[in-house]
Amino acid sequence: MSPGTRTKLVVLGALGLALVLVPFLLPSAFHLRVAALVWINATAALGLALLMGLAGQVSLGHAGFFGIGAYATALGPKHLGLDPLLSMLLGVAAAAGLALLVGRPILRLKGHYLAVATLGLGILVHLVLVSEVAITGGPDGVQVPRLVLFGWRVAGPEVWYAITGIVLLLAAWIALNLEDSSTGRALRALHDSEIAASVAGVDVARHKLVVFVIAAVYAATAGGLLALFNRFVTPDVAGFLRSIELVTMVVIGGMGSILGAVVGAALLTVLPQALTLFHDYEHAVLGLLIILFMVFLRQGIVPGLAGLLVRRRPA
Amino acid sequence: MSLLEARGISIAFGGLRALDQVGFAVDRGRVLAIIGPNGAGKTTLFNVVTGLYRAQAGEVRLDGREVTGLPPHALAARGLARTFQNLQIFFRMSALENVMVGRHLKERRRLWAELLGLPSVLRENRESREKARELLVFVGLEARAEEPASALPYGALKRLEIARALACEPSVLMLDEPAAGCNPVETEEIDRLILAIARRGVAVVLVEHDMKLVMRISDRVLVLDQGRVLAEGTPAEVRSDPRVVEAYLGRHGLEAARAA
Ligand SMILES: Nc1ncnc2c1ncn2[C@@H]1O[C@H](COP(=O)(O)OP(=O)(O)OP(=O)(O)O)[C@@H](O)[C@H]1O
Ligand SMILES: [Mg+2]
């Protein structure tokens, strides 16, 4: 078995196990709803992990693509009378189109400049969602109709848990396939040396664009799922804080790691719920925890713990 | 007509004329050495020819076609490969994976098939891995294939770059100081590698400060000084050229002459 295939089996196995076990351990409707949120956030974080961890490119405006997916799902039925699922797919296509369009000039930038340019993109999307009140409903948000598939009304926390879990599993499978391919190797290569990658025949600009579009598709898919699941969206889903949250999920979980993105998403989704105990200090405690994680597991939780385990093992 | 030809290459950085009307030609199976003191413009010439810098004047022809100003990946697709004086390694990847990246152009890279992990992609991964392993054997690094490149010593990384450059089965290989910082044993090893590569029909362009190495394996030598061509000829001609001995080789040249 090739090393890539082994990684695939381990990661998908761990993820599949978690998906099956959670409903047994935490069967309440509330817990299933939180878990579904985790799977949705993890899907978005996974795409960003490909962009940041694999290819070494930053996006501080990724919630913009999340918002496009969410709002397309809400607005398609409202204004055009389209089916919510079709609207979501159109939203994903729109996000991919936007990423393709703005990606080429943006990705020529490096480091801080790239960060600021993507930040600008995210802020722009958020601004449109807030200010185009007639279309988007503005800051008050907008209702999303219930998803109906072939006459079946998709409802209930168990069903949404399953749907979001399966989407995450698919997203992880695709990400793992990408990692273990020519394109994946080229992305990791350009992360380390764009010059050496291009001299080896890698079209660096094209590869950056490809991974940017993939990351946008992941985010928009997650956004659409959130809209269908919550039945309501507000511009916050595309806000700057949301973008930062996504980046934090990736960094805290471990940048180069698929499981890391899921663990990071779980942590940043579950902790705020758990920390409501601290009332006014909720955000301060969350910030403190993030700092502690970064100090003690600098590579991120999953690679950091894996490293500890390997080192502990007797030679 | 030569396989790789550069003519009248000129480039300036601010006021500094790094290259002034420089040209060279190299044929299949031949070794051309480019020598000259520090700052002569050797690496700059490599950077122009491989598409990293854009020259202000001059043209590059590869296999009879004009390729001036093409981006590096397009030149690689036409059979041009190189290594770097200041190592350009993919440090987050294993030695084997570094060489697999060199197989990039030989892979089909159909994105949809890759995203779905189709059997054709897995087969291709396997082929690339095998080819990369063969190349690691060729440069003598097979024992360290699975190690992260960051764990390899300097001399090994130099050879890793050669393996990666060979992975695309180039027709021209440009080596920028492959023996720099290597001990005599490693240098001899690289000497042997270069000759083996040329024997396979690859045109080799070599920048090197080790005069013994240059005199031993080159068919022709181009001497650069302050961005200009000082001399060009066989190793024997260059060695006995008084301008070269005086302006560049100096004491080292006499040593080399005696050593040969
Ligand atoms: N990107 C650049 N910007 C400005 N100056 C440059 C650049 N690249 C090279 N130079 C200058 O061009 C001249 C030639 O440099 P080059 O690196 O080609 O020399 P070299 O012959 O390879 O020397 P060495 O033997 O030290 O490697 C030097 O004066 C160098 O400072
Ligand atoms: Mg140099």
Residue B111 has pLDDT above 80, yes or no: yes
How far is residue B112's CA from residue B103's CA, in Å, rounded to a whole number? 19
Give the residue on B whose Cα is nearest the Cα of A189.
Answer: B90
Chain A contact present for B130, CB below 8 A: no
How far is residue A47's CA from residue A246's CA, in Å, rounded to a whole number? 10
CATH number for the domain that contains residue B194: 3.40.50.300
Task: Choose one of B129, B153, B168: the last residue of a domain.
Answer: B168
Among A156-160, A170-174, A175-179, B241-245, which stretch is predicted with the lowest mean pLDDT?
B241-245
How high is the ipTM of this complex?
0.91
Arithmetic mean of pLDDT, A182-190: 97
Residue B32 has pLDDT above 60, yes or no: yes
For residue A116, give how far its alpha carbon lies from the nearest alpha carbon of chain B (Å). 26
Residue B15: count of CB within 10 angstroms of its CB: 5
Is the residue at B15 inside a domain? yes
Cβ neighbours of residue A138 closer than 8 Å, sequence gap 6 or more? A130, A131, A132, A235
Task: Choose one of B141, B168, B195: the last residue of a domain.
Answer: B168
CB contact under 8 Å between B93 and A201, yes or no, is no
Cβ neighbours of residue A220 closer than 8 Å, sequence gap 6 or more? A65, A66, A68, A69, A72, A91, A92, A94, A95, A96
How far is residue A56's CA from residue A58's CA, in Å, rounded to a whole number? 7
pLDDT digits (tens, 9 = 90+) for B80-106: 999 999 999 999 999 999 999 999 999
Contact between A200 and A139 under an 8 Å Cβ cutoff? The reply is no
Mean pLDDT, chain B, rounded, equals: 91
Same domain, yes or no, for B157 and B177?
no
Contact between B215 and B260 under an 8 Å Cβ cutoff? The reply is yes
Same domain, yes or no, for B73 and B174?
yes
Residue A45 has pLDDT above 80, yes or no: yes
Question: Would you say the pTM of this structure is higher than 0.90?
Answer: yes
Q: Find the CB nearest B111 among A180, A192, A210.
A: A210
pLDDT digits (tens, 9 = 90+) for A232-272: 999 999 999 899 999 999 988 887 788 899 999 999 998 88
How far is residue B90's CA from residue A180's CA, in Å, rounded to a whole number? 16
Contact between A42 and A261 under an 8 Å Cβ cutoff? The reply is yes
Q: What is the pLDDT of residue B259?
A: 57
pLDDT digits (tens, 9 = 90+) for B168-219: 999 999 999 999 888 888 889 899 999 999 999 999 999 998 888 899 999 9
For residue B105, give how far its alpha carbon lies from the nearest alpha carbon of chain A (Å). 6
Token pair of B75 as six digits: 């030149």
CA nearest ligand 1 atom 5, residue: B13
Chain A residues close to B52, C-beta within 8 Å = 195, 199
Is the residue at B84 inside a domain? no
Same domain, yes or no, for B115 and B157?
yes
Tally the domains of chain B.
2
Chain A residues close to B93, C-beta within 8 Å = 185, 188-189, 192
Q: What is the pLDDT of residue B94?
A: 96
CA nearest ligand 1 atom 4, residue: B13
Same domain, yes or no, for B36 and B100?
no
CB contact under 8 Å between A192 and B82, yes or no, is no
Same domain, yes or no, for B74 and B1?
yes
Same domain, yes or no, for B73 and B106?
no
- Please give the residue range of the domain that contains residue B114: 89-168
For residue A3, give how far its alpha carbon lies from the nearest alpha carbon of chain B (Å). 10
